[in-house]
Amino acid sequence: MGLSAAIFGMQGTGLTEQEIEFFKRVKPYGYILFARNCESPEQIKKLVGELKKVSGRDILPILIDQEGGRVARLKPPHFPAFPAAGKFASLAINDIEAAKKAVYENARLIAHELYELGITVNCGPLADLPVEGAHDIIGDRAFGKDVWQVSQLAESFAQGLADGGVVSVLKHIPGHGRAFADSHLELPVVDTPLEILRQSDFLPFKALSHLPMAMTAHVLYTAIDPENMATVSKAANSIIRDEIGFDGLLMSDDLSMKAMQGDFTQRTRDVLSAGCDIVLHCNGDMTEMLAIEKGLKPLSGKALERANKAMEGAGKTKGFFDIFIARENVNKALVS
């Protein structure tokens, strides 16, 4: 059996015997790390080595959420604190070019930290457009509220990661900025007409549709599909592929979030049958993972092609990069 269409998390700072047995049997496409898995640089490198050994692959998708600001799994004292996207959004209002340069260098710095640890994929940038009064789950994680600005800064972030040898994950496609609820806790419902979504929310994702990976939004858009949220909606997946034009690897947001319905086997089947290439499960709960296994299918066909292509840039850095000068430049830009 080949790779299965899943990315899994794990419980702790090292693999348990049960996890090793499960991962060897299921052969997930990749893995995702959270703060609970990250104790020190040496420990993380050892865990990455364990995952490579279990998978039998050197080029392995190992994901993390290291956006900067409040979404950062790697934190001081072992790792630098990186600024939130909102800091660069404020700079861009007066000087978009300075903001783009600072975003790029900041992303290269993040990529440097991940590269050193063997982490190959960063879940960012966000291309969401927050509206007034929306839930703060996006908030300062966004690069602003203007289509062009968000597109420009998110592109710079993705380029910085790529040049640092780290694959980016565009999120949360086709847009989470109008959500008035946190999808970790409940299902956000957006009633905005489709034409307005086409003229605003979809546009940054369209501009970034060339990126290698993307993550869906656990949001129900009544104008797209009145019954199913985007992650499990064939209509939404059709818009992502055909209208927005994204042809990279499409993964779900976390299956364990409260926005989803049904048992974990059914959630898995719903996500894959709707058109996502990969299911993502983050919390490392083995009971849930065993249920997901029952709904999984092998990566094959177009999904396998996308999965392989997405990792082509992993570990391939471009050009000399001075981390000390970059840190100084980013700090200067944000206090100017």
* Active site positions, annotated: 184, 253
> Is the C-alpha dihedral spanning 57, 249, 33, 270 positive or negative?
negative
Instruction: Let me know: does 187 contact 225? Beta carbons within 8 Å.
Output: no
Output phi, psi for 6, to 5 deg.
-150, 150
Helix (H) or strand (E) holding 215: strand 213-216
Contact 212, 251 (CB under 8 A): no
Reference 153, options 173, 128, 177; nearest CA is 128
Integer CA distances (angstroms), 144 to 99, 148, 306, in order: 12, 9, 30
Q: Are 239 and 265 in contact (CB under 8 A)?
A: no
Q: What are phi and psi of 178, to 5 degrees?
A: -95, 5
Q: Quick one: tokens of 44?
A: 């993380």
DSSP E strand stretches across 60-196 = 62-64, 66-68, 71-72, 121-122, 167-173, 189-190
Phi, psi (rounded to 5 degrees) for 211: -65, 155
